[in-house]
């Protein structure tokens, strides 16, 4: 391990975690492809899909803590939403995290590609009127929220994500939650989900600890900064940025899948 290795991994973690705090995602939608491609591009190292998913799982656990802490005031966190979706996604992520050990690296990338594609399509579905709802008047279909979170958790556990890149479009488009409440609450749900993913990855030996530690340090520094930026940024702009990031990542992953 040299200074170039530390710097590249730290920057990947910092950029991903800043976007995590700003957009209400765990950051794996960004960091998964960055870890998969950038280190090998610089000739530093080449992580396998299993290693990338393991590092991502551990890092997301810490990235979301900073984001939730920054959003703890102002009524942004919907406790009912966090409980119903959090418990379900934790169960799903435990199942996915353990089950991923039995999958080939190509299969993990395929699952990631499918999740990213679904999220990208959902982000471009028009969402009208949700941001006009006062936070204390927000309601949602609780059984549906729990079911969708369980499904997301299984897929997210497989790829070492916490599933926020799917949770956000679901919360916006299906459950009709306002964007700022979605961002804050999804970070809390993502934190719960990442517990299951991390346990699954660690206990099945899929985590490279040194790059994971570097990413954790970057996360602790960057995530609260991103959350502060998110509070000040126009809600529609946040949706556009997230949609573009998810769509771009989905395209890149599918190009690589189809090329192999």
**Which of 2-11, 62-71, 160-169, 194-203 is predicted most confidently?**
2-11
pLDDT top residue among 177 and 246:
177
Query: Is the pLDDT assigned to residue 82 strictly greater than 70?
Result: yes
> Any idea how long the chain is?
260
Distances (CA, A) of 19 to 14, 140, 162, 223, 230: 9, 27, 15, 7, 9
pLDDT digits (tens, 9 = 90+) for 11-45: 988 888 888 778 766 666 677 778 888 888 888 88
pLDDT value of position 259 = 75
Query: In whole numbers, what is the pLDDT of the chain averaged over residues?
Result: 80
Non-local (6+) Cβ contacts of 208 within 8 A are: 47, 51, 54, 55
Q: Which helix (H) or strand (E) holds 142?
A: helix 142-159
Task: With cut-offs at 50, 70 and 90, classify the pLDDT of residue 109.
Answer: confident
Lowest-confidence range among 57-61, 131-135, 196-200? 131-135
pLDDT value of position 130 = 65
Report, as an integer, the average pLDDT of 144-161: 82
pLDDT digits (tens, 9 = 90+) for 127-145: 665 666 777 778 889 999 9
Task: With cut-offs at 50, 70 and 90, classify the pLDDT of residue 161.
Answer: low
Model pTM greater than 0.75?
A: no
- CB contact at 8 A, 186 and 60: no
Non-local (6+) Cβ contacts of 200 within 8 A are: 57, 93, 94, 96, 97, 98, 99, 100, 101, 157
pLDDT value of position 50 = 78
Give the span between the Cα atoms of 247 and 220, in whole angstroms: 27
How many helical (H) and strand (E) elements, i.e. helices and strands, does the chain have? Answer: 10, 0
């Amino acid at each position: 391990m040299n200074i170039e290795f530390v710097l590249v991994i730290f920057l990947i973690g910092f950029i991903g975690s800043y976007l995590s705090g700003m957009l209400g995602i765990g950051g794996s939608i960004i960091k998964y492809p960055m870890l998969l491609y950038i280190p090998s591009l610089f000739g530093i190292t080449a992580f396998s899909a299993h290693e990338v998913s393991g590092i991502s799982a551990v890092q997301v656990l810490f990235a979301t803590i900073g984001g939730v802490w920054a959003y703890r005031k102002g009524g942004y966190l919907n406790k009912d939403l966090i409980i119903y979706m959090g418990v379900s996604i934790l169960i799903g992520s435990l199942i996915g995290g353990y089950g991923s050990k039995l999958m080939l690296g190509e299969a993990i990338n395929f699952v990631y590609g499918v999740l990213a594609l679904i999220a990208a399509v959902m982000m471009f579905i028009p969402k009208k009127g949700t941001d006009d709802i006062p936070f204390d008047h927000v309601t949602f279909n609780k059984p549906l929220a729990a079911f969708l979170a369980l499904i997301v958790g299984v897929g997210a556990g497989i790829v070492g994500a916490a599933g926020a890149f799917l949770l956000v479009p679901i919360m916006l488009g299906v459950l009709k939650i306002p964007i700022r409440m979605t961002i804050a609450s999804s970070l809390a749900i993502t934190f719960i989900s990442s517990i299951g993913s991390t346990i699954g990855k660690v206990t099945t030996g899929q985590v490279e600890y040194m790059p994971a530690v570097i990413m954790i340090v970057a996360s602790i520094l960057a995530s609260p900064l991103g959350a502060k930026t998110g509070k000040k940024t126009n809600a529609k702009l946040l949706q556009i940025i997230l949609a573009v990031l998810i769509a771009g990542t989905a395209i890149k992953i599918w190009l690589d899948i189809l090329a192999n």
